[in-house]
Amino acid sequence: MVTYSQIKGDRKKFLALTGLTHTEFKQLLRAFRRAYERMYPTTKTLAGMPRQRQVGGGRTGALHDWEQKLLFVLVYVKAYPLQVLHGVTFDLSQSQTNYWLHHLLPVLKRALDDLGVLPERDPRQFARSERRKHEPPEFIIDGTERRRQRPKNKEKQALHYSGKKKAHSDKNVVIVNAKTKRVGYLSGTYPGKTHDKKIADSEQIVYPHEASLDQDTGFQGYAPPVREIRQPKKSRASRS
């Protein structure tokens, strides 16, 4: 079983499992606790009814403290394992894992939103939201893929098969601020076969006009109205 107390002193392992440094984790933990208490006040049951019994009754669960709750949901978001595997990692059954994920993922989303680090999801609002950050408008756009279970339907199999990853996957396009490393935009989810440029074209993202954009050859031909677009050229050796 993975516990917060076991890994908090191991910087590399902590970063690998959560995607955060310990300092960032502590900052998020404060927002996570506030968001949890707003969503699930101790004076009410989960059904929203006034609580009749005192909080804390019964046996102590595997996710009894705030650090363990946040660690549980961050490891899931970072690694995206099967629920059975995630449950084994945290000493929970599959049904308990499913319950806690549905219970905690909305809390994490609200906490990130409260901290102002949740990526913009509306492509038409990207330019406006970035100007409010008062950061240099220097961006990197790239496609990301995550593996998914192989669909049973043959048409869906072909649609989600990624030749690049040699596996079935889902794909998103992200835009990151090159200076602060903050993810500013997250696209909708597309089948793994979809080309990066096609996703970017479909999203119709509105950029700040003064922005510069770094992109790889997967976005060849993608030319939004920005100040500068930088794209590496393939060497003659790779083309021959």
Assess contact for 212 and 228: CB atoms under 8 A: yes
Q: Tell me what pLDDT residue 212 has.
A: 97
Q: Is residue 100's pLDDT more than 70?
A: yes
Q: Tell me what pLDDT residue 57 has.
A: 58
Segment holding 29, helix H or strand E: helix 22-39
Query: Beta 212-214 vs 138-147: how paired, if at all?
Result: parallel
Assess contact for 234 and 217: CB atoms under 8 A: yes
Q: What is the pLDDT of residues 107-118, one digit of tens each?
A: 999 999 999 889
Q: Tell me what pLDDT residue 165 has.
A: 79
Pick from 205, 210, 240: nearest CA to 224: 205
Q: What is the pLDDT of residues 67-99, one digit of tens each?
A: 999 999 999 999 889 899 999 999 999 999 999
Rounded CA-CA distance 127/205 in Å is 8
Q: Where are the domains of the chain?
A: 4-114, 123-233
